[in-house]
Amino acid sequence: MAVIEDFEEVTSEEALTAIIDAESEMNEMINDNFSVNAVNDTIIAAKSAYDRAMFAEILAKNTSGILLDEASSSLEGFNYDAFSYSDVIIYTDQVTKLKAEAYDVFDHLIALEFKIEEYKLESIEIEEVEILLEEAYLEFSFERYISTKEILSEANLILEENRARSTALRVVSTSGKNFFKKHWVVLSIIFIILIFLSYFSYFALRRIRLERKLKKLHSEKISIKQLLIDTQKERFEKLKLSSHIYGIRMDYYSRRLNEISSEIPVIQEILKKIEKKKIKKMTKPKITKEKSKIIKPIISFIKPLPEKKSKKQKKLKKKSPKLKKLKKKTSNKKTKRK
């Protein structure tokens, strides 16, 4: 869509073309199965801005007819001199930005999927990241692109940590036994620290992120409720809003409030599960497959090697035939005496 830089010279035709281009961009997103609630609301706002600018233009020209009456009733109580077609361009530019951001985030989601498949072939731990990818897609479907980026960043960080740990394990497993004899104490301490840090930090980070999100949703819910009250006051008490704009606002606020109300219990349930897991791990520690893979080689190297017997000791064990004969004679003498 062409961006008009000089807003002061925007004409009716240019504003209308910008709206048509914005609708074309929205249709492209729909064809690619993108959620377009925010884009659609922005286009509706652009159309409302176009109507206001058109009515303001009619009133400024002091023309007569049906359109003048409609313009007067629509802009009653407003300072229509401030309305212009440049307002339309502000909204249509916002549509272009939303579309660009949506496709950019989607590309990052696809990139993470390919990365997971690649790391899976290298036998790197990817279960945690797959869960985060699902969460990222959920946020993306609600058009919360900033939150999606945060989750993707966390997922990539965990992947790199897992890869580093896996690489370290391979290096350790292929190293010689002499190296482990010299440095087994330091290595075992490092591995144990890494296991505990990665395990507890994941759940701690996830819990913190979910708690922040829950707090944010609660505050947003309160704000939206207040906005609903303010909108109703502006419409029915102050008579500042037209029925069209009132309907758009109420529909958007109600829909967002329903989304938040349905999302809060889900997050609360996830937090409860994390807390239960934490309590179980504190009471009954379990060794996971990943941990056992790391601990077994360490234990095998910690075990002392069997001492090699000297040649003298081996010779002593092999008894000579003369000694055997002497033993037999002494035993026979003892029996005769008895």
* pLDDT for residue 290 is more than 80: no
How far is residue 22 from each of residues 5, 152, 276, 332, measured CA to CA in Å? 16, 28, 49, 116
Over the Cα atoms of the chain, what is R_g?
A: 37
pLDDT of 272? 85
Contact 59, 75 (CB under 8 A): yes
Amino acid at 257: L
CA dihedral 2, 5, 6, 8 (to 10 degrees): 70
d(CA 140, CA 43): 20
Our CA angle for 53, 57, 58, nearest 5°, is 120
- pLDDT at residue 133 in the model: 93
Residue tagged 């809003």 (tokens): 241
**Per-residue confidence (pLDDT) for residue 30, from 0 to 100:** 94
Note the pLDDT tens digit of each residue in 112-136: 999 999 988 888 888 999 999 999 9
In the predicted model, what is the mean pLDDT of the chain? Answer: 77
Check residue 81 and give its pLDDT: 52
- Residue 271 belongs to what domain range? 193-304
pLDDT in tens, 31-40: 999 999 999 9
CA 330 to chain centre: 87
**Weakest mean pLDDT among 188-197, 267-276, 317-326:** 317-326
pLDDT tops 90 at residue 202: no
* Highest mean pLDDT pick, 139-148, 285-294, 306-315: 139-148
Between CA 159 and CA 60 the distance in angstroms is 62
- For residue 138, what pLDDT is reported? 93
Looking at the domain assignment, is residue 197 inside a domain?
A: yes
pLDDT of residue 82: 54
Contacts of residue 278, Cβ cutoff 8 Å, sequence gap at least 6:
203
What average pLDDT does range 302-308 have in this prediction? 48
- Asked if residue 180 lies in contact with residue 150, where contact means CB atoms within 8 angstroms, the answer is no
Average pLDDT over residues 275-299: 57
Question: 3-state DSSP call for residue 6?
Answer: coil
Q: What is the DSSP letter of 123?
A: T
Which long-range contacts does 72-75 make (Cβ < 8 Å, 24+ apart)? 74/242
2 within a domain of the structure (yes/no): no
The total number of structural domains that make up the chain: 1
**Which residues contact residue 50 at a Cβ distance below 8 angstroms, ignoring those fewer than 6 apart?**
15, 16, 19, 85, 88
What pLDDT is stored for residue 271 in this prediction? 85
Select the more confidently predicted residue: 44 or 77: 44
DSSP secondary structure of 307-335: PPPPHHHHHHHS--HHHHHHHHHHHHHHH
- Residue 177 has what pLDDT? 57
Cα within 13 Å of Cα(30), Cβ side = 11
**Band of residue 312 on the pLDDT scale cut at 50, 70, 90:** very low
Query: What are phi and psi for residue 233, nearest 5 degrees?
Result: -65, -45
**What are the tokens at 178?**
């002499």
**Please, which residues have CB within 8 angstroms of residue 99's CB and are 6 or more apart in sequence?**
25, 26, 28, 29, 39
> Which residues lie below 8 Å from residue 97, measured CB to CB, with a gap of 6+?
none
The Cα–Cα gap between 148 and 312 comes to 73
Q: Is residue 299 part of a domain?
A: yes
pLDDT tens digits along 125-182: 889 999 999 999 999 999 999 999 999 999 999 999 988 888 877 766 666 556 666 7
Q: Summarize the confidence of residues 85-111 as an average pLDDT.
A: 94
